[in-house]
Amino acid sequence: MADREAAREQALEAAEELFYGRGVQAVGMDAVRNASGVSLKRLYQLFPSKDVLVLEFLQRRDERWRSALARHVDAHSGPEDRLLAVFDWLHTWFSEPGFRGCAFINSFGELGGISPQVADQARHHKEAFRDYLASLVAAAGLPAELTDHLALLAEGAITTAAITGTAAPAVHAHAAARLLLRAHTHNERVGYDITR
C-alpha cells in the first residue's frame, strides 16, 4: 500500500509540473512516466487514462492552491488586512519562476469545450475561490456585492500576469482593492451606497 501511494505521489508531482508547465495536450503518459520514474504499466494501474490523471492533477492543484492562500491570509489579523493579503499572496505566486497563470483557466482553454469534467473542475475552483473571498468580505463587515468586485480584480490580475510575465498586476489589483475597501468604509459612515 505504501509503495502504491509513493508511486501515485511521484506520478502526480510529475504530472503537475508537466501539465502546468507545458499544457495538458502537449504532455503524454510517456512524458509522465519519464519524469516520474513510474513505469507505464504502473501508471495505468494508478490512473486508467490520461483523463483520470488530468482530473486528479486539477483536484490536487485546487487543494494546494487554496491551502497556500489560506495559510498566507491566516497570518494576518485585521479583517481588511486579510482581504488585502489575498493580493499580496497573488504577487508572491506571480513572482515564482514557473508561473504560467491559472491551471484551471489554462486547462479550461485547452479542454473545457470537449471535457465536461475539466469544465466542472475549473468552475468548482473559481466558485471556491469566490466563496473564500465572500467569507473574508463578510468577516470584515462589508457589503456582499464587494465579493464580485474583488474576485474580478483577482481573476483579472491572474490572467494579465500570465500574459505579461510580470507580477505588477497584483500590485495594481491590490491598490484597486484598497480603494474599494476605503470607498465602502467611507460611504458606510456617511450612509451612501456606491453600488447604485
Distance CA 10, CA 14 (A): 6
Query: CB-based contacts of 15: which residues, under 8 Å, 6+ apart?
Result: 27, 32, 36, 53, 54, 56, 57
Cell numbers found for residue 54:
488530468
Quote the CA–CA distance of 94 and 101 in Å, as a whole number: 8
Which of 178, 50, 61, 188 minimizes the C-alpha distance to 129?
61
**pTM for this model (two decimals):** 0.91
- Model confidence pLDDT, tens digit, residues 47-71: 999 999 999 999 999 999 999 999 9
Which range has the worst mean pLDDT, 72-76, 136-140, 172-176, 185-189?
A: 185-189
* 13-to-6, 134, 181 alpha-carbon distances in Å: 11, 31, 39
CATH of domain 1-48: 1.10.10
User: What does the block give as the cell for 5?
Assistant: 501511494
Q: Where in the chain are the domains?
A: 1-48, 49-190
Rounded to a whole number of angstroms, the distance between the first and last alpha carbons of the chain is 59
* pLDDT confidence bin for 184, thresholds 50/70/90: confident
Q: Tell me which amino acid residue 59 is.
A: Q
Residue 19 contacts residue 57 (beta carbons within 8 Å):
yes
Q: Tell me, what DSSP letter sits at residue 140? A: T
CATH topology for the 49-190 domain: Tetracycline Repressor; domain 2 (1.10.357)
Q: Could you read off the pLDDT of 74-92 as tens digits, one per residue? A: 999 999 999 999 999 999 9
**pLDDT, average across residues 22-42:** 96
**How do residues 132-158 score in pLDDT, each as one tens digit?**
999 999 999 999 999 999 999 999 999
CB 109 within 8 Å of CB 25: no
Please enumerate in sequence order all residues whose Cβ is within 8 A of that of 91, keeping only pairs 6 or more positions apart, or say none.
Answer: 167, 170, 171, 174
Q: Provide the pLDDT for residue 138.
A: 96
